[in-house]
């Protein structure tokens, strides 16, 4: 057995983490991996041309831990950083960590054991979102799927709507990927804004063996003011329309047409449309009020809205109220609703998170 084959056998998981402007957070992310009960891993950290001390901090950890390798590159975005590491990875499985989050100590071992026991190509786990509303105070939202084992494409496709509903199929960091499956199918992160979702769609498109655990391990932190979730995004509506097209295309490819799946897709679309309305009333949006309303009118009168609003079934009184302006195609009501959501989002993170969770 040559050295390369020996290394591949011994490395159970390759952890991949892009780093950019996270000097206040990256140490905790690294230490949460070092504290893992599973020790047979390699940790590929990609310094994506960060202008702060994040890269230096990573180098210091690498000096004292031979499992850590730091790759320094020119800035190209998180997708390019992850893709570079995918090509260098030697582990049987791949795990993607964000550099401003952290993981519970048994995460890698538990997910590895699940993958091995079921010969899974993909393991999906529950997670936490820790939303900070003050510097040292936060609220935790639990995201918990049902335990499941899918051993055929048909089983997984029939039940995928449940995972979409639980927000399990959007991020990469609550998953363990069989590296051979990723490499054989040439699956890489696309160089696009919000690259996680299209990558995951490409992974599940032809997946067969999937294990889902209700156990939670990953802590996604909503804390940084520069986080993507707090910005005004000029092309948000166009992006959401594109994503909706991807969802429709995926389900057409799968040939899945049951009512539960169609309702999930429709409700997902309307919920994200409301986010697009709120995006237009974000204080950082430089459009005039007239232009904002004009864009809302275009959105609310689209054929996608007409189709989805009839199929979607809101799951709370709060959600039903939010749907009414859209159902009535009332632009002024939609605008007021969006302004209220923006105000709450800015002035009370706690209330905004509670309402969003209960929606």
CA distance 49 to 29: 18
Tokens 């998953």, residue? Answer: 175
At 8, is the pLDDT very low, low, confident or very high (cuts 50, 70, 90)? very low
pLDDT for res 118? 97
CA distance 282 to 340: 10
**Helix, strand, coil percent content, the chain, rounded in steps of 5:** 50, 20, 30
pLDDT for res 346? 81
Residue 286 has pLDDT above 70, yes or no: yes
Region 305-331 average pLDDT = 95
Residue 224 has pLDDT above 80, yes or no: no
pLDDT for res 50? 97
Q: What is the pLDDT of residues 128-152, one digit of tens each?
A: 999 887 778 888 999 999 999 999 9
Three-state SS for 208? coil
In degrees and rounded to multiples of 5, residue 232 shows phi and psi of -80, 130
Region 301-314 average pLDDT = 96
Q: What is the pLDDT of residues 177-195, one digit of tens each?
A: 999 999 999 999 999 888 9
pLDDT for res 10? 83
Strand residues in 107-228 grouped as ranges (E)? 122-134, 137-143, 148-150, 175-178, 210-222
List the one residue out of 146, 259, 160 whose CA is nearest residue 208: 160
pLDDT for res 9? 55
Handedness of CA 23, 28, 33, 35 (dihedral sign): positive
pLDDT for res 86? 98
Contacts of 230 (CB under 8 A, 6+ apart): none
Region 163-173 average pLDDT = 97
Handedness of CA 272, 126, 94, 225 (dihedral sign): positive
At 225, is the pLDDT very low, low, confident or very high (cuts 50, 70, 90)? very low
Contacts of 120 (CB under 8 A, 6+ apart): 114, 176, 178, 209, 210, 211
Look at domain 3-222 and name its CATH class: alpha beta
**Across all residues in the chain, what is the average pLDDT?**
93
Residue 264 has pLDDT above 90, yes or no: yes
CA distance 155 to 344: 41
CA distance 150 to 162: 13
* Structure token digits, residue 98: 């964000």
Tokens 């003050």, residue? Answer: 134
Q: Are 81 and 46 in contact (CB under 8 A)?
A: yes
Q: What is the pLDDT of residues 38-61, one digit of tens each?
A: 999 999 999 999 999 999 999 999
pLDDT for res 246? 97
Indicate the domain borders of the chain.
Answer: 3-222, 231-358
């Amino acid at each position: 057995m040559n050295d390369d084959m020996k290394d591949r056998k011994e490395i159970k998981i390759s952890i991949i983490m892009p780093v950019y402007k996270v000097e206040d957070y990256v140490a905790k992310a690294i230490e949460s991996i070092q504290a893992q009960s599973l020790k047979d891993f390699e940790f590929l950290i990609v310094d994506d041309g960060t202008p702060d001390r994040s890269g230096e901090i990573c180098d210091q950890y690498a000096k004292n831990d031979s499992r850590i390798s730091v790759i320094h590159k020119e800035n190209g975005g998180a997708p390019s950083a992850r893709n570079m590491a995918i090509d260098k990875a030697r582990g049987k499985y791949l795990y993607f960590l964000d550099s401003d989050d952290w993981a519970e100590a048994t995460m890698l071992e538990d997910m590895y054991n699940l993958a091995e026991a079921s010969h899974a190509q993909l393991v999906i786990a529950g997670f936490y979102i820790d939303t900070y509303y003050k510097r040292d105070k936060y609220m935790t939202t639990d995201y918990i799927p049902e335990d499941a084992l899918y051993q055929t494409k048909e089983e997984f496709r029939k039940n995928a709507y449940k995972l979409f509903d639980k927000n399990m199929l959007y991020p990469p960091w609550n998953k363990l990927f069989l590296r051979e499956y990723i490499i054989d199918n040439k699956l890489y992160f696309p160089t696009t804004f919000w690259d996680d979702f299209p990558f995951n769609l490409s992974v599940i498109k032809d997946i067969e063996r999937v294990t889902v655990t209700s156990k939670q391990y990953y802590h996604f932190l909503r804390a940084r003011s520069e986080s993507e979730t707090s910005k005004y995004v000029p092309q948000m509506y166009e992006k959401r329309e594109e994503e909706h097209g991807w969802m429709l295309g995926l389900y057409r490819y799968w040939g899945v047409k049951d009512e539960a799946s169609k309702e999930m897709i429709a409700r997902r679309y309307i919920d994200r449309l409301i986010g697009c309305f709120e995006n237009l009333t974000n204080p950082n949006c430089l459009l005039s009020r007239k232009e904002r309303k004009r864009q809302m009118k275009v959105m609310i009168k689209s054929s996608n809205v007409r189709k989805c609003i009839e199929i979607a079934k809101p799951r709370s009184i709060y959600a039903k109220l939010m749907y009414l302006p859209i159902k009535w195609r009332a632009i002024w009501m939609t605008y007021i609703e969006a302004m209220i959501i923006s105000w709450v989002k800015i002035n009370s993170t706690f209330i905004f998170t509670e309402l969003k969770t209960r929606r």
